[in-house]
């Protein structure tokens, strides 16, 4: 018999909490601006999907599938012996699970057929676009009033599974993670803890983002000693159905489901203009152009980056006439396209 996964052995502060029932209306914009994780108890307690989940796993699945348009999605299946942790094999070059295109109604049927079985495989449907696969679900009252420039472009995704573990990783967008069915534990770390979390390979990755190599169920501090320092900065959010946790882009989060059947809807957004490139592209280009240069030269380049990129945007242009600012000025769609073309020309020289 496979042992149940124990909670992570981390002594950490609890994420700050707000009770939606006592703070109505909730101003999500103000919470976002706080710049750290916040739990909002009962934020989505009135969602019809949450109400269906209170009647049981089958009722929740039936309600969700009433919106399903039949489009094949991706189902991730892992053997019972990995304990729900979607990760690598020992070589760190291959993943320990299978990903297949599946009919989501049939795949949910497989999940439900194994409820209560401690030796069941792990079933997981991750980051599936809500509007593309379950059109009308959000409009049926399973949504939050997020609009205006503070939220920029918004993506709604659904996550479904039995007992699963998403190893600590970061996303490049802000997140409101809403637990609709079951219970989840989020263990969160600020971005400056990246080195203490021992990121794995850039590729392959279990879910599209670099993950921590530390097994939170039994951290190997001989191999990963600085993880103890990361724990000093960790905060934990235990969420029931109807609760949500809000956290900023680039915060590391380790997510463990604590029930035999779980659903979560998350809303990702970023206030930056959509014409901006991904900062990760800059990181990769930095590896190509800067990482292997002499240390003194890298220090000098760090000063240039601070001046042109990380410092105040107005500093490099304050002494220049407007007609001479070029790409140093605030970018728009046209100037971003011109700068991208120039960069591509240089890369492909």
Whether 8 is in a domain gets the answer no
Question: What pLDDT band is residue 214 in, cutting at 50, 70 and 90?
Answer: very high
Which residue range(s) make up the domain with 341? 279-347
Q: Which residues make beta-bridge pairs with 255? A: 166, 186
In a domain, 285, yes or no: yes
Q: Give this prediction's pTM.
A: 0.92
Q: Work out the average pLDDT over 303-316.
A: 95
Q: Is the pLDDT of residue 203 over 90?
A: yes
Residue 176 has pLDDT above 60, yes or no: yes
In a domain, 5, yes or no: no
Place of tokens 């707000």: 18
Q: Is 229 inside any structural domain?
A: yes
Percent of the chain with pLDDT over 90: 81
The reply to whether 210 and 74 lie within a common domain is yes
Q: Among residues 243, 270, 297, which one ends one of the domains?
A: 270
Q: Based on the number of CB atoms within 10 Å of its own CB, is 2 exposed (0-12), middle (13-18) or buried (19 or more)? A: middle
Chain mean pLDDT for the chain:
92
Same structural domain for residues 287 and 258?
no
- Among 228, 251, 270, the domain boundary falls at 270
In a domain, 3, yes or no: no
Same domain assignment for residues 170 and 292 = no
Write out pLDDT tens, residues 24-83.
667 777 777 677 899 999 999 999 999 999 999 999 999 999 999 999 999 999 999 999
Q: How far apart are the first and last CA of the chain?
A: 59
In a domain, 2, yes or no: no
**Do the Cβ atoms of 131 and 156 come closer than 8 Å?**
yes
CATH code of 111's domain: 2.60.120.10
Residues 174 and 293 in one domain: no
**Degrees to nearest 5, angle at CA 159 with 253 and 169:** 20
Residue 76 in any domain: the answer is yes
Taking residues 331-339, report their average pLDDT: 93
- Do 214 and 183 have their domain in common? yes
Flag whether pLDDT at 4 surpasses 60: no
Instruction: Assign 226 to helix, strand or coil.
Output: coil
3-class DSSP state for residue 217? coil
Quick: pLDDT tens for 267-285: 998 888 888 899 999 999 9
Question: What single string gives the DSSP state of each residue in 10-45?
Answer: ---EEPEEEEGGGSPSP-HHHHHHT-S-EEEETTTT
Do 320 and 241 lie in one domain? The reply is no
State whether 132 and 185 are in the same domain.
yes
Per-residue model confidence (pLDDT) at position 53? 98
Tokens of 204: 């392959």
Both 102 and 74 in a single domain? yes
Q: Could you give the number of structural domains in the chain?
A: 2
Task: Look at residue 149 and tell me whether its pLDDT is greater than 90.
Answer: no
Q: For position 269, what pLDDT does the model report?
A: 86
Q: Are residues 87 and 156 in the same domain?
A: yes
- The predicted pLDDT at position 24 comes to 64
Per-residue pLDDT, 16: 86
Residues 321 and 247 in one domain: no
Instruction: Say how far apart CA 122 and CA 102 lie, in whole Å.
Output: 15
- Confidence at residue 45, expressed as pLDDT on a 0 to 100 scale: 96
Last residue of a domain, one of 270, 291, 315: 270
| Cα distance between residue 209 and residue 331, in whole Å | 28
Q: Are residues 291 and 226 in the same domain?
A: no
Residue 41 and residue 79 in one domain: yes
Q: Which of 94-103, 143-152, 228-237, 306-315 has the lowest mean pLDDT?
A: 143-152
Residue 318 and residue 325: Cα distance in Å, rounded?
A: 9
């Amino acid at each position: 018999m496979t042992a149940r996964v124990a909670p992570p052995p981390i002594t950490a502060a609890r994420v700050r909490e707000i009770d939606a029932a006592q703070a109505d209306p909730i101003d999500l914009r103000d919470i976002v601006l706080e710049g750290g994780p916040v739990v909002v108890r009962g934020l989505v307690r009135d969602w019809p999907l949450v109400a269906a989940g209170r009647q049981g796993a089958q009722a929740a699945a039936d309600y969700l599938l009433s919106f399903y348009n039949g489009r094949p999605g991706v189902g991730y299946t892992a053997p019972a012996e990995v304990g729900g942790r979607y990760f690598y094999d020992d070589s760190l070059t291959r993943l320990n699970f299978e990903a297949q295109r599946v009919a989501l109604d049939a795949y949910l049927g497989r999940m439900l057929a194994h409820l209560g079985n401690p030796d069941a495989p792990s079933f997981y449907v991750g980051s599936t676009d809500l509007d593309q696969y379950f059109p009308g679900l959000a409009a049926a009252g399973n949504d939050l009033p997020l609009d205006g420039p503070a939220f920029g472009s918004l993506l709604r995704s659904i996550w479904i599974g039995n007992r699963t573990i998403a190893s600590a990783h970061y996303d490049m967008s802000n997140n409101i993670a809403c637990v609709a069915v079951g219970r989840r534990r989020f263990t969160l770390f600020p971005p400056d803890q990246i080195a203490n979390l021992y990121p794995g390979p850039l590729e392959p990755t279990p879910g599209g983002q670099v993950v921590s190599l530390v097994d939170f169920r039994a951290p190997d501090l001989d191999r990963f000693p600085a993880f103890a320092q990361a724990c000093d900065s960790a905060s934990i959010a235990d969420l029931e159905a109807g609760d949500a946790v809000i956290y900023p882009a680039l915060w590391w989060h380790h997510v463990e489901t604590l029930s035999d059947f779980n659903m979560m809807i998350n809303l990702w957004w970023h206030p930056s203009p959509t014409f901006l490139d991904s900062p990760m592209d800059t990181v990769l280009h930095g590896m190509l152009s800067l990482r292997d240069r002499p240390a003194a030269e890298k220090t000098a380049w760090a000063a240039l980056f601070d001046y042109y990129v990380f410092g105040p945007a107005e500093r490099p242009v304050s002494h220049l006439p407007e007609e001479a600012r070029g790409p140093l000025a605030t970018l728009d769609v046209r100037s971003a396209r011109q700068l991208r073309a120039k960069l591509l020309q240089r890369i492909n020289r």
